[in-house]
Structure 1
Amino acid sequence: MRPLRDNGLSILFGALFLVTLIGQSIAGYLEHNEELREHGQALVSFGSFVTSSEFVVDVAENWQSEFLQFFLFIAATIWLVQRGSPESKKPGDEGVGTDEEQKVGEHALEDSPSWARARGLRQVVFSNSLLLVMGTVFVLSWLAQSLAGTVVMNSENALHGQPPITWLEYLGTPDFWSRTLQNWQSEFLAVGAMIALSIFLRQRGSSESKPVGVPHHTTAIESD
């Protein structure tokens, strides 16, 4: 049972991700076939739907906004602080920190990752690996959303007797930016609310909250 306990958060959210993705695919499949039925067109199989641009664009637009949120949050917390929030370093600790603080190079611990002990490019890559991966997934998800969205729009244009458009033309359409910005604004709102509300509100036992009795103005790391 220890592996389950030690990896409980990853297992929970991995399971929730799979359940909701499957649920989205089933609901989207039923909705898509209902639309085809209303237009007198042939229905598609479930396998055809989940590999279609209609499904990919909906999934990708959610993924890209989520990874953009974390990419910006990780980058912003290097240099910006919010006094009193457990999501922030304490004021005065802005920046990337010294090698000693980060336990890299000659200051690495005996059981530190090998790339933390390395020098040069490997250490630079590992030191920024979280931001690099988040940014890469965001860019790839955004690209998948835009390409799939182009296919979907051209399918709709064909139904209405309109000419197809290119990928670059789609990037300038209201449809693309409506899909994109409605997700971005919700992610920014959620992160901003978490940062601000955690200054004044508590959740006993959560690592995302300060201890219940810590003053509002105290940043979580200052209470250790």
Structure 2
Amino acid sequence: MRTFLRDNALSLVFLGIFLATLVAQAFVGHADNNEELRRHDQAVISLGEFVTSSAFVVDVAENWQSEFLQFFVFILATVWLVQRGSPESKQPGDEGRGDDEDQLVGAYARPDSPRWARASGWRRSLYGNSLLIWMGAIFVLSWFAQSLAGLVVANDEAAQHGEAAETWLGYVASPEFWNRTLQNWQSEFLAVGCMVAFSIYLRQRGSAESKPVGLPHAETAVESD
């Protein structure tokens, strides 16, 4: 058990932080939502009703879709683009998908390589792009969930003001939807861009996201291997 915890500490810690913050968001959001209901002389709802409501789902999905879009774009960009000096980048000159020998696939696979890395045809192609596919799928599903939950919330508010309900297409084309969406997107891409650029000149000793402290600014970390 101790070995398991040590070998998986990074994943487990972030899973724990995620669950703790999600639970905290549920409690705080529930309290805020009930305050809003009281201000409008409406009956408050239980925590269970809140976490299954569109109001909670839209806030959660809105953040998830922007995070997974960030990773999707970053993974795809780092296949073809480089940034000299950044540990987030491959070495200049290594742009592209790499050959079979570099990727340890097919005839170059090791005995302990994943089974589908040793396979041929569609299985190797699917596995060779599985990270990008999975991130993209979660983004699309989260974006769709955000749009559906957001539509319910928007139509509830419209009903309270005696206005007509919107269709799904009308909502996803509305300024309100894209204002919420783009607020998240711009912050995610700013964070990624800053990480790529700052890591050229700044260091964090012991972090896998940083170059060695004494490595020159212009040298990409993999160049020192």
Q: TM-score range by the shorter chain?
A: over 0.9
CA distance in 2, matches of 1:9, 1:105: 31
Q: Counterpart of 1:34?
A: 35
- Aligned-pair CA distance for 1:177: 0.6
CA distance in 2, matches of 1:22, 1:179: 23
Q: Counterpart of 2:213?
A: 212
CA distance in 2, matches of 1:109, 1:168: 50
Q: Which runs of 4+ in 1 moved over 6 A?
A: none
- Aligned-pair CA distance for 1:178: 1.1
**TM (normalized to structure 2)?**
0.99
User: 5+ unaligned residues in a row in structure 1: which ranges?
Assistant: none
CA distance in 2, matches of 1:173, 1:40: 29
Q: Counterpart of 2:148?
A: 147
Q: What secondary structure is seen at the aligned counterpart in 1 of 2:165?
A: coil
Deviation readout 1:180-207 (Å, 9 max, x if unpaired): 0000000000000000000000111001
- Aligned-pair CA distance for 1:43: 1.0
Deviation readout 1:33-75 (Å, 9 max, x if unpaired): 1111111111111111100000000000000000000000000
Amino acid at match of 1:17: F
Tell me how large the CA RMSD over aligned residues is. 0.5
Amino acid at match of 2:85: G
User: 5+ unaligned residues in a row in structure 2: which ranges?
Assistant: none
Deviation readout 1:87-125 (Å, 9 max, x if unpaired): 000100000000011000111000111000000000000
Q: Counterpart of 1:186?
A: 187
Q: Counterpart of 1:117?
A: 118
Amino acid at match of 1:55: F
1:89 aligns with 2:87: no
1:201 aligns with 2:202: yes
**TM (normalized to structure 1)?**
0.99
CA distance in 2, matches of 1:96, 1:133: 18
Q: What secondary structure is seen at the aligned counterpart in 2 of 1:49?
A: helix
Q: Counterpart of 1:126?
A: 127
- Aligned-pair CA distance for 1:157: 0.2
CA distance in 2, matches of 1:174, 1:46: 31
Amino acid at match of 1:5: R
Amino acid at match of 1:54: A
Aligned length: 224
Q: Quick one: percent identity of the two aligned structures?
A: 67
CA distance in 2, matches of 1:213, 1:43: 58
Amino acid at match of 1:218: E
